[in-house]
Structures are given as C-alpha cells and as structure tokens.
Structure 1
Amino acid sequence: MPGQTELHDFPSGNSAFLDSERLSPLNGDSRIFIAVDPGTAARVAGGVWRVEITAARVRSGRFDAWIERDARDPANAFADQSFFVGSDFDPVMTLGTPATSRRGISVANYDHVTVAPSSSSSRGRTRDGRDKPEVAAPGTGIVSSASLGGRPDGLGGVRPVRTEMSGTSMAAPHVSGIVALLLQLDPTLSAAQLRKALLASANPPDGVVPFDAAWGYGRVDAVEAARLLG
C-alpha cells in the first residue's frame, strides 16, 4: 500500500525491501523503491523477477521503472547485471541520477573510432521532458591513468600506470578538461555561461538537429568553444 514499508522473505532465502511514498516531497510524484539482497542465501537467485503494480485508483499518467547498478563481481565483466526483458525495456529515457540533475552537464559516451554512440551510454530525455544528455565526448577505449599505478598488486607484480576503460566515466573528464580551459581563458564565466558555450559549440553528426536522445546536441568541440569566447 502507498506510504508503507515492508520486508519480504523468499523461499530461496533472498529478501526484498519495499518502500513507497504517495507524494514524494522531491517532485510530488508517487515513488516505489525495491531492493533485493541475498538474505540468508549466498547470492541473489538468477532468473526473471516480476514486479506487479496494482493501481488502487487511476485517472491519468504512466509509471516509469529503472534498475540501479548491481553490486557486481568485476570478474564477470557485467555478466551478472540485471536488465529489463522483452517489451519491458525502453531504449530511451534511461538516464539516472546524477545525469538528470537540473544544473549539471550530462555527457554521453561515443566511440571516436566508429563515431557512434556507445550502446551502454544512457539515452535521454528525462522523464519530465528535459534535454539530456547535453553533449557527447569520447569514452570508448580511452587510455588513462590507473589507480595505484606503479604499486605492488599483491600478486608479485606491479599495478599498471595506464589502463584502458570505456564508459561515461571516461567521457565526462573530456568535458571537465574543456571547462577548465575555458575558465583559463575567462575566469569570470558562470556555470550557465559554460553550459551555453559547450552546447553552442557542439558538433552534431548528420541527422542530429537540434537534439538527439543519444548524442545530445552533438560532440564537444574545444576549439570552437574557445573561439566563441574570443
């Protein structure tokens, strides 16, 4: 029931925590949160989990659902991640927090070799219709500094100084670097001005006019952004 909290135990030993709000203080919408954990079992059972929602009263509207990142085993290379199946999956409006923040700049990940957005990069718009992500930056096969590089790895070897990774976590630093360069050119720039400069200088691929759910307003262009400030 709306506004209630419940803990449910499954025969497998797994358990589920359910919490709901009739009117969330954040946006006035109804909210349901479900967390599944191993409980007394070694791990959460694999297979298809079905969530049924029964509306006590319907006038208009829709419901949206997202699966947050699982606590995964790095050795599985994301093989143990949860996902929606069949018609339950919608390839757009997959952005989660903090990419949906109103004052932040959301960055999509694209492959700079194939010039195509990564399939793992979340798509816009937000559920309230705002244009997100704003821009796209290279984030596939990026070689960067490795954490604890050069230190012993505990197995008789040494941790690599450089490593190759993919994801929006590799795309966002490209934009952070461009913002730093723009602030060097003009330290008085506000966050709103920086955002406008990034969007106005973005290089949209063919067909991206003016906004695309995967590309945003296009690929970041540091040279053009700097030129706009000249």
Structure 2
Amino acid sequence: MSSTDTPPTAKPAGPSQAFWQERFEQGQTPWDRGEAHPQLRAWLAQGLLQDGHAIAIPGCGRGHELRLLGEAGIAAVGLDYTPAAVELARAQLGCLPGRVELADVLAWQPPEALDRVYEQTCLCALHPDHWLRYAEQLHRWLKPGGLLLSLFMQARRDSAGSGVLEGPPYHGDINAMRALFPASRWDWPAPPYPITPHGQGWAELGVALRRR
C-alpha cells in the first residue's frame, strides 16, 4: 500500500440495520414469543416497575413489553433502530401510555436519568464487540439506585469451545456478564436466578442489577 492509498474501512461487527429490517418485514422473528416476557410480568407483580418511573426498553422489537406496561398505566419509552420494528411497536402500543423512538442505543441519551431499564433482547442482539460501549450506556442512563432488569440470553453453541462467536442471539455467559457489569458499579443479587426457557433450546436468566 502506498502512502496515498486509503486503508479499507472496517466493517461494523454484527448484524446491520438492513439485516433486522428484512427480518421484521418478512416476519422472521423466531425469538418473539408473541406476548410479554413472563419475567417482566413477575417483576411488575413485585412492584419493581411503577407509574412515575422513567423507564426505557432498548431493542423493544414488536413492543409486547411496552404494551404490558401501558396496560398497567406505566409509560415507558421503547427504542429500536429498525424502522419496521418501530412501526410494529407503535401499532402494538396504540393509545396506551408510552412511546417508541427510532434510535441507536449506542448513541441515544435519555432526557433525564432513568429509574429502570428493561434489557431483554438488545444485549444478545449486539455483537460482543459492542458490549462494553452498551454497558457504559446503561450505567450512564440510570440514576444511582436505578434498576437494570436484565434477561441474559443463554444460547451457548458447541462452536464456542473453539472460540467461534455465533449469533444473534449471542450467548450471555454469566462470567462474562459479571465482568461486563462489575460489582464495583452494580449490586448483584445472590443466585440462583430465575430461568425462563426460550425456543430452540435457549433460556434466559433474570437478574435485577442495581446501579451504584
């Protein structure tokens, strides 16, 4: 390469916006239960989400969780950077409390510090190269004492034994999650954590982290 050559631009790691747009347009969303997650219902019943809380749902997809909260009178903001998903989520929410924004979670900032973030599908959809930046965002969004209501996707494949990264969804190994959300910045509850089976042999660990 000569001194005048321009080095090639590195391709962003992980799925593109076009990748997700195509899947929502074609209905290829096998991760979608068709309803709100059972663990969100449990957290709601426990009073961890209440009217008056500033709440964000990154990677809100079709908006089932937004609708559940809206039906409880709780207005949350759903974030997705796929126009097709935003359209579906807005239709799902209808006239219920809440709103949906077209946004990149790696750049978005809330107008005020949040009380709660419900993290179900965003982390496992992001390539692990982006995880540190996303974890910084989550910490920045929440006020001290705020809760990160997390569902860590358990989707380990056999290829992981040879170091291959497969996804989405990307596997949220609990050791990696402890490193990503360290105890110096987050209060971890004692295990064991509730686990919810998912399709295709996957499962999700429900962990409520408190921001320090």
- Of Structure 1 and Structure 2, the greater helix share is in 2
Fold match, TM over 0.5?
no
TM-score, reference length from structure 2: 0.26
Answer 1 or 2: higher relative contact order, Cα 8 Å, separation at least 6: 2
Q: Return the TM-score normalized by structure 1.
A: 0.24
Q: Which has the higher strand share?
A: 2
